Amino acid sequence: MEYFYLTDPGKVRDHNEDSVIICKNDNDEILMAVADGMGGHRAGEVASSIAITHIGKRFRELGSVGNKEDAFHFFKDAVSEANVLIYKYTEKHPESIGMGTTIVMALITKDYLLFGNIGDSSGFVLKNGKLHKVTVDHTLVNLLVKSGELTEEEAKNHPRKNVLMKALGAQTTVEMDIFDVEKDIDGILLCSDGLTNMLDTTQINKVLNEKLDIEEKVQKLIYKSNNRGGSDNISVALLEIKESEGLK
């Protein structure tokens, strides 16, 4: 099993508000997470950093996350705590009011695979050479698509496509969507919308299937996103499973 991540400011933004982590605990369980911060005066990077730092710390402190039910509680508790920390920060720093962050996470253990998300950062699995999206974006446009008011095609270039319906730090409480995923996969991709707004699933899929090292694949995804405009910060976290080992 190999993993690698990279984050890049893109071609338009003057600083990077994304934060990323991939870490392993004492039981060889792996946590991957990408957070895309928002808010002026560099507050977005504070929000994403608070979330990633807290969730990573909580994970490392656990010798093992435990069974699947324990893992559900870990996701909900760690995210809820991070939400409170961000909210409290804004109370102490009025200039940062309105800041928040998305979060997408994947937890890999020998027994199960869980994804969780808040906002519009995405989680995918790669299986038999094809990329499948696991998470569901918490955006206004996605809500309109679900209600039938917009088509998928109309949603792609909608002027309000980045309006979030849910984010960490925006309110005193927040609920994370959690997905229990089949472990029979070849890889995991987490990313901020700086990637998915520039490249569609087919284009991402093509890069992931090239005969490249994992580092080269991540670098190429960011390069291609920047080449198409790089209008936002771009973060990519990739995990690949060798055929011989399976997910364990």
* Distance (Å, whole) CA 59 – CA 75: 10
Residue 248 binned pLDDT confidence (cut-offs 50, 70, 90): very low
Beta partners for residue 113, in sequence order:
108, 181
Angle between helices 214-227 and 201-208 (to 10 degrees): 150
Q: So what's the architecture of 2-240 in CATH?
A: 4-Layer Sandwich (3.60)
pLDDT value for 159: 66
Terminal CA-to-CA distance of the chain, rounded, Å?
A: 9
Beta partners for residue 123, in sequence order:
190
Q: What is the mean pLDDT of residues 111-130?
A: 97
Judged by DSSP in three states, 189 sits in strand
Beta partners for residue 126, in sequence order:
131, 187
Closest CA to 79 of 109, 113, 56: 56
Domain boundaries, the chain: 2-240
Q: How many residues are present in the chain?
A: 248
Stated pTM of the model: 0.93
pLDDT, one tens digit per residue, over 21-74 is 999 999 999 999 999 999 866 799 999 999 999 999 999 999 899 999 999 999
Closest CA to 185 of 246, 115, 109, 122: 246
